[in-house]
Chains A and B, each alone.
Chain A
Amino acid sequence: AQSVTQLDSQVPVFEEAPVELRCNYSSSVSVYLFWYVQYPNQGLQLLLKYLSGSTLVKGINGFEAEFNKSQTSFHLRKPSVHISDTAEYFCAVSDRSNTGKLIFGQGTTLQVKP
């Protein structure tokens, strides 16, 4: 079984500052890793995913994440945030079976202040 821990429930940050949202996972098997974003009053949208290959993955809206197998982490980063990045961010894992079902973390609310 897999589990995901998002270490921060809320992250307040000023506009144009860098941000890191932390995600750690636990699994006895190899996994795929995802970050989803949920903007206010909207559905979930995929930000980026790690399936294989380079451990640094780039996603939409200037976000990137790095897969660290030894630390079982998949932290999300952005060098300069905008007000429009205010949203709920979810880290998720999927085992490498054929179901693709996702196990989600509790979510991190990113609050970007002017």
Chain B
Amino acid sequence: GAGVSQSPSNKVTEKGKDVELRCDPISGHTALYWYRQRLGQGLEFLIYFQGNSAPDKSGLPSDRFSAERTGESVSTLTIQRTQQEDSAVYLCASSRLTGSYEQYFGPGTRLTVT
């Protein structure tokens, strides 16, 4: 079946603007994760959704970052008042059940803040 999809693939925005990134998980996957990959660095965990449970937001770097997920479907990551340090690749992953621990990653959205 289809994998995790993300849109847009690339986004260039001016400093101070808001951006919204979208993730479509694999159908039937209850868990969804957002990560950030800055140039030359590893991935940083941002936020985790599991079903109807309260999300784990412990990785969000500031209150400019927020994310939503409706049920077990699409998720959006919103960055308000973007800063240059927000430039990165934002990756989404989904997992069938948390116990399986295998996460399937999307291709990412490359965000450039000018």
Contacts and interface: CB of A to CB of B under 8 A. Distances in A.
Interface residue tally on B, bucketed by range: 20 to 34
A103 B98 contact: no
A43 B43 contact: no
Nearest to B56: A99
Given A49-B101, A98-B98, A99-B98, A43 B108 contact: yes
B103 A43 contact: no
A26 interface: no
B45 A51 contact: no
A98 B31 CA distance: 10
Contact of B50 (A6, A34, A99, A102): A99
Interface in A38-92: 42-46, 49, 51, 90, 92
B48 interface: yes
Interface string B27-38: 000010101000
A104 B43 contact: yes
B45 A102 contact: yes
Interface residue tally on A, bucketed by range: 20 to 34
A71 B44 CA distance: 24
A101 B56 contact: yes
Given A43-B107, A44-B91, A103 B45 contact: yes
Contacts of A103: 45
Given A43-B107, A100-B95, A102-B103, A90 B48 contact: no
A14 B35 CA distance: 33
Given A101-B33, A104-B42, A106-B41, A49 B102 contact: yes
17 contacts: A34-B101, A36-B105, A42-B107, A43-B3, A43-B4, A43-B107, A44-B93, A44-B105, A49-B102, A92-B43, A94-B101, A100-B103, A101-B48, A103-B45, A105-B42, A106-B42, A107-B41
Interface of A: 4, 6, 32, 34, 36, 42-46, 49, 51, 90, 92, 94, 98-107
